[in-house]
């Protein structure tokens, strides 16, 4: 009887807490979308995601349909952005490039997030030799510029999409690990964690259920800020011929191709660049908005 | 006190450099392809046209038959003496190529940083002083556009407009060939991003400083607005800007790689890209090491400057 009362009470309490946090969440969303700039950037990002998902339906031509007779045609009603050296429709390729860029960036961020948060949590929770080793390795990787690091990884692994994700995510892993470690270090000395220990909870349970939820804010901020960064880096690598390879459509590769015909066919380079630019604006604005919303203190951009 | 911090910072600097060297070494050994074959001018391993004895001889000559740890220490020892061997692919002394390339990159980045600081701080100041007006809005718009523009694409647009159409500047970026004018477009392309970030940072830290009591005191003392902005406020607002500059050097190097390729400047980035495409392992190792170490030195310098201008953080 007594036990029954206890569980019932516990359920009510958690229900109440759940409601409360849900209300807070809704309130916070309302605040976030109270700003026009946030609505703008969010809609732009949603539009890009829509394009990325439905690119095959939206594009007027097949992205790999070659037509040598119509090579380097200027923009027209049939080809909004003209055609490239082999007569492929640039508009369709740009739309498909959205899919490439966004899916690659998302995979990179998710991989970096999971690995980085785990490493950071281990490092911060078990201070000592493990922490020391992880942080020294992090220092070394931080002291090599991001693009150079990614280039080196591509040189080792070769330019296939999976390896590209690996190459791009090394830096992200480190960034996520650092943020998580910082939060874990500051949280684990608090009284309620001692209480958890006293209740005999396992380390894993304490870390995942009682410490890591505190990192959600900083991690959301970091992820949104980093997506633009990853997209830019991927297109830079592709531009240098070490990222996405033909015939997969990628903005960076397309811009690089157009470099040779800049004088008489500028549309080959300019059009994919406009999309890349808009994507960067969308994610940067969204990242700024999210950061100002969740973490108003830290205004330093990465 | 200052010396003590400097010493502590130097002590953490050395393991970092060793770490970069180790990374560069591992990079060389993890890259697919056998260096002995590469040295013989054969790309494919197991290519039947090569005499196996010849391969063994080359392997011995290059020290590739020794245990990996011995090779590692040999490489580090040689690197300390500035000896990175001869390129297998193009047969030149690796260090010579680096000595030729490094100044080009440093000039490029130096001018870029200078431009970015001047432009960024001015735009940031303007938008802080005229906060809320149309000037502020334009300045903020410029900075968000600057942060979002891909460097390599912006460079192509600049070439299209200022080199091809208006013919004001040359398309190449080599100073010896085209004169100092050649640096304008490359520098402008790379500077856009850091200038925008610096502008943003200057604006927000200026706004913060301007709300302090000391500015009110200065105003009530009857000081000129100009003096308040440039002496009292800017001096305090500059600290976060230095931090941003420190953050940005890494991104700058990344941007510089693409820019060097576009403007055919023989710099470190161009050297590295060519080496990666050619699978030129020794050049790759050396380039990564030199870029990594220079980057670490720059970060060290930024930290020192930060210490000098802001005595508060001398912990």
Show the DSSP H helices in A143-266 as ranges: 146-157, 161-187, 191-198, 203-205, 216-239, 251-258
Is residue A261 scored above 50 in pLDDT? Answer: yes
Confidence of residue A16 (pLDDT cuts 50, 70, 90): low
As a whole number, mean pLDDT of residues A244-261 equals 86
**A202 in contact with B at a CB cutoff of 8 Å?**
no
**Angle of the B94-129 helix axis to the B184-210 helix axis, nearest 10:** 40
- B16 to A242: CB separation less than 8 angstroms, yes or no: no
Q: Residue B15: what pLDDT?
A: 82
Q: Are the C-beta atoms of A251 and A238 separated by less than 8 Å?
A: yes
- Each residue of B39-53: pLDDT tens digit? 666 655 555 566 777
d(CA A250, CA A268): 12
**B187 in contact with A at a CB cutoff of 8 Å?**
no
ipTM of the complex: 0.82
- C-alpha distances (whole Å) from A35 to each of A43, A217, A286, B127 are 13, 19, 11, 21
- Each residue of B155-192: pLDDT tens digit? 999 998 988 888 888 777 677 777 777 888 999 999 99
As a whole number, mean pLDDT of residues A12-38 equals 76
Q: Are the C-beta atoms of B216 and A111 separated by less than 8 Å?
A: no
Q: Which of B83, B160, B129 minimizes the C-alpha distance to B225?
A: B129
**A204 in contact with B at a CB cutoff of 8 Å?**
no
Is residue A142 scored above 90 in pLDDT? Answer: no
Rounded CA Rg of chain B: 24
d(CA B136, CA B124): 9
Q: Residue A301: what pLDDT?
A: 38
Nearest CB among A239, A270, A299 relative to B258 is that of A239
Contacts of A240 in chain B (CB under 8 A): 257-258, 261, 273
Nearest CB among B22, B243, B288 relative to A152 is that of B288
Pick the residue with more confidence: A256 or B68? Answer: A256
- C-alpha distances (whole Å) from A198 to each of A157, A188, A195, A201, A203 are 48, 13, 5, 8, 12
DSSP-assigned letter for residue A296: T
Phi, psi of B84 (to 5 degrees): -110, 15
**B253 in contact with A at a CB cutoff of 8 Å?**
yes
- A280 to B15: CB separation less than 8 angstroms, yes or no: no
Q: What is the pTM of this model?
A: 0.84
Confidence of residue A191 (pLDDT cuts 50, 70, 90): confident
Q: Are the C-beta atoms of A256 and A238 separated by less than 8 Å?
A: yes
Q: Residue A136: what pLDDT?
A: 79
- In Å, how far is A275's CA from the nearest CA of chain B? 11
d(CA B197, CA B149): 12
Q: Residue A87: what pLDDT?
A: 77
- Each residue of B199-230: pLDDT tens digit? 888 888 888 777 777 777 777 777 677 777 77
Q: Residue A47: what pLDDT?
A: 94
Q: Are the C-beta atoms of B310 and B205 separated by less than 8 Å?
A: no
- A284 to B147: CB separation less than 8 angstroms, yes or no: yes
- In Å, how far is A27's CA from the nearest CA of chain B? 27
Pick the residue with more confidence: A1 or A196? Answer: A196
Q: How many angstroms separate the most distant Cα atoms in chain B?
A: 88
Q: Residue B253: what pLDDT?
A: 81
**B297 in contact with A at a CB cutoff of 8 Å?**
no
Structure-derived torsion over alpha carbons of residues B261, B266, B270, B272, reported in degrees to the nearest 10:
180
Terminal C-alpha separation, chain B: 9
**A137 in contact with B at a CB cutoff of 8 Å?**
yes
Six-digit token pair at B61? 């000559």
């Amino acid at each position: 009887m007594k036990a029954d009362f206890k569980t019932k009470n516990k359920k009510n309490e958690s229900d109440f807490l759940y409601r409360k946090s849900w209300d807070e969440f809704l309130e916070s969303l309302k605040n976030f979308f109270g700003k026009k700039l946030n609505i703008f950037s969010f809609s732009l990002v949603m539009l890009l995601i829509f394009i990325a998902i439905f690119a095959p339906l939206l594009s007027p031509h097949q992205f790999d349909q070659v037509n040598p007779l119509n090579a380097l045609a200027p923009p027209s009603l049939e080809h909004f952005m003209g055609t490239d050296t082999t007569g492929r429709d640039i508009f369709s390729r740009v739309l498909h490039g959205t899919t490439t860029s966004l899916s690659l960036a998302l995979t990179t961020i998710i991989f970096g997030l999971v690995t980085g948060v785990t490493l950071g949590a281990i490092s911060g929770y078990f201070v000592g030799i493990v922490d020391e080793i992880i942080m020294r390795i992090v220092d070394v990787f931080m002291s090599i510029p991001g693009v150079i690091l990614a280039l080196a990884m591509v040189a080792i692994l070769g330019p296939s999409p999976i390896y590209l994700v690996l190459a791009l995510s090394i830096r992200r892993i480190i960034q996520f690990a650092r943020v998580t470690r910082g939060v874990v270090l500051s949280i684990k000395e608090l009284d309620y964690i001692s209480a958890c220990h006293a209740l005999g909870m396992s380390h894993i349970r304490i870390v995942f259920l009682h410490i890591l939820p505190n990192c959600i804010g900083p991690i959301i901020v970091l992820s949104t800020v980093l997506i633009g960064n990853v997209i830019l880096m991927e297109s830079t690598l592709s531009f240098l011929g070490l990222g996405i390879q033909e015939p997969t459509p990628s903005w960076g590769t397309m811009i690089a191709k157009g470099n040779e015909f800049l004088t008489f066919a500028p549309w080959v380079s300019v059009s994919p660049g406009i999309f890349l630019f808009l994507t960067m604006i969308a994610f940067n604005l969204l990242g700024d908005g999210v950061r100002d919303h969740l973490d108003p203190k830290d205004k330093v951009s990465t | 006190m200052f010396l003590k911090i400097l010493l502590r910072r130097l002590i953490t600097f050395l393991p970092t450099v060793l770490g970069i060297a180790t990374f560069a070494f591992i990079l060389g050994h993890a890259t697919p392809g056998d260096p002995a074959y590469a040295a013989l001018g054969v790309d494919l391993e197991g290519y039947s046209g090569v005499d196996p004895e010849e391969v063994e001889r080359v392997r011995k000559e290059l020290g590739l038959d020794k245990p990996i740890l011995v090779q590692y220490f040999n490489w580090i020892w040689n690197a300390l003496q500035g000896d990175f061997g001869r390129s297998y692919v193009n047969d030149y002394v690796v260090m010579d190529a680096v000595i030729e390339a490094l100044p080009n990159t440093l000039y490029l980045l130096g001018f870029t940083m200078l431009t970015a600081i001047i432009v960024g701080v001015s735009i940031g100041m303007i938008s802080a002083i005229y906060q809320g007006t149309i000037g502020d809005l334009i300045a903020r718009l410029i900075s968000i556009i600057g942060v979002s523009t891909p460097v390599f694409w912006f460079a192509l647009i600049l070439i299209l407009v200022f080199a091809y159409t208006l013919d004001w500047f040359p398309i190449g970026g080599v100073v010896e060939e085209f004169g100092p004018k050649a640096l304008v477009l490359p520098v402008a392309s790379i500077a856009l991003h850091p200038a925008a970030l610096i502008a943003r940072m200057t604006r927000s830290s200026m706004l913060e400083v301007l709300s302090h009591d000391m500015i009110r005191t200065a105003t009530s003392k009857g000081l000129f607005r100009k003096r308040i902005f440039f002496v009292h406020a800017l001096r305090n607002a500059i600290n976060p800007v230095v931090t941003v500059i420190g953050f940005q050097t890494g991104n700058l190097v990344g941007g510089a790689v693409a820019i060097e390729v576009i403007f055919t400047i023989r710099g470190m980035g161009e050297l590295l890209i060519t080496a990666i495409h050619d699978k030129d392992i020794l050049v790759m190792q050396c380039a990564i090491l030199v870029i990594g170490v220079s980057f670490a030195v720059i970060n060290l310098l930024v930290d020192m400057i930060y210490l000098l201008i802001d005595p508060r953080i001398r912990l």
